[in-house]
A and B are shown apart, each in its own frame.
Chain A
Amino acid sequence: MTKGRLIALEGARGPSVTAAAHELLGRAADDVQPGRISQWDASGLFGELRWNEPGAPRPSPRILVLLYAADLAFRLRREILPALEEGRCVVAAPYVQSAVAFGMAAGLPHRWLVELFRFAPEPRELYRLRELCGQTECACKPSEGYLEFCCEVLGPGPRPWDSENLRRRFVEFFDLPESGRSAAGGQPIEVLAQPPDRGRV
């Protein structure tokens, strides 16, 4: 059992998740032990992926989820678990549920997604960002978040992936019973308001 405190924050818009993570950390970390934020693509896997070179076949949703899992394994090993061992507070933004939500939105089986991420410890607290009502478009750059990246990769190409639908189904996932993997001890997901001045389209 680690000594620190793992907080997961999930959401559809990368920049809003980042801003909210800083707010959460400010609230949660104590003055003695500074906390840290662990973010998507700390391993650089997505940034290095040459999916848009001429003639290169694009990754499928399943590959994007496997890469997310590899990135998360890296974050756990290099960022999250060492900080928890030191007794620090870590805000993982995003964590497991965002990848599950994307996978579900893209039609992957929930059971496979849950089993795939079995290696990740349950967070002590779980938050998600409230989506702005009716907004299914996002002007964020692909490098700013996992869902943005996936929408960009899957958007054009041979399969008619619709980024608006992906985003809508991603958000809807959190209302499904399948999203019931809550924080440790069965605590429910707390919904956070969008941070001010960020994440607005």
Chain B
Amino acid sequence: MPKIPKPEPERKGNGLLIVFEGPDGAGKTTQRKLLKTWLEGEGWKVSTTKWNSSPLIRPLVKTRKAAHSLSPEEFCLLHAADFQHRLETEILPALQKGRVVLADRYFFTALARDASRGLDLKWLLSVYQPMLWPDVVVYFSVSPETSAKRVAGDRTPHFYEAGQDVTGLADPFASYAQFIRGVIGEYETMAPFFRFVKVDAEQPIYSQHLAIREVFQGLGHRSHES
């Protein structure tokens, strides 16, 4: 694991940044929505941000994904631009107002996926600098088999989601099963270095939610919208 760059805490304000990470099918979105509902019920002001959702960059990525025309470097750099745009226009402003920001995926997603595509982790870390460290990263841990099974039960994975650009397999399900193994491997390697709080995503939904509430309560309530 390369040397991890220092964070830039002064940019963050007094909000709280909570990140949900993990492979597809781990239940991040469900848990993010549950936590948001609970936090708002407790009186918190909550903002959410989702991966690859910048109104400026997403259209560029979408057309190129549809055409299957991205190399791993281009895929990485465009997602980094998307992330940077959301960081500047959504995440930081919300944190500076003292809001709780729930990020459905953060740059750890890029590190896991892009490293699985064979890109150098040290370079990936530099692409995402300067790094704004979350207050907590909740990592939803599932086996590759569970992830593949849940995704297959829900939809046909897209070309890049299935990693078909790197596996070369024509069958998206077979490709996903192979690709996600590498992605989960990268997550598991990162988990101790980045101090992920691990949640067993094979447990019942509500018990996971209770565990996440406890994580939040352990952060200390220092966030209030100004």
Contacts and interface: CB of A to CB of B under 8 A. Distances in A.
A82 interface: no
A49 B60 contact: yes
A60 interface: yes
Interface stretch (A26-34, A70-78, A161-169, A174-182): A70-78
Contacts of A63: 56-57, 81, 84-85, 88
Tell me the dominant secondary structure on chain B's binding face.
helix
A66 B81 contact: yes
Interface residues of B, number: 22
A78 to B, nearest CB: 9
Contact of A70 (B77, B88, B123): B77
Interface string A41-75: 00101001111000011011011001101100110
A60 B84 contact: yes
A50 B56 CA distance: 6
Question: Which among A48, A63, A115, A119 has the greatest number of chain B C-beta atoms within 10 A?
Answer: A63
A57 B92 CA distance: 14
Given A48-B60, A49-B56, A112 B126 contact: yes
Given A48-B59, A49-B60, A112 B74 contact: no
Given A56-B56, A116-B127, A70 B78 contact: yes
A115 B77 contact: no
A62 B130 CA distance: 10
A66 B71 contact: no
Contacts, number: 65
Interface residues of A, number: 24
18 contacts: A43-B74, A45-B60, A51-B56, A57-B56, A57-B88, A57-B89, A59-B56, A60-B84, A62-B84, A63-B57, A63-B81, A63-B85, A67-B81, A73-B77, A77-B73, A112-B129, A119-B73, A119-B123
Contact of A73 (B55, B57, B71): B71
A115 B123 contact: yes
B80 interface: yes
A165 B111 CA distance: 36
Question: Which among B63, B77, B127 has the greatest number of chain A C-beta atoms within 10 A?
Answer: B77
Interface in A4-58: 43, 45, 48-51, 56-57
B81 A70 contact: yes
A116 B127 CA distance: 6
Given A70-B74, A77-B71, 16 more contacts: A45-B60, A48-B63, A49-B56, A49-B60, A51-B56, A56-B55, A57-B89, A60-B88, A62-B84, A63-B57, A66-B77, A67-B77, A67-B78, A67-B81, A116-B127, A118-B126
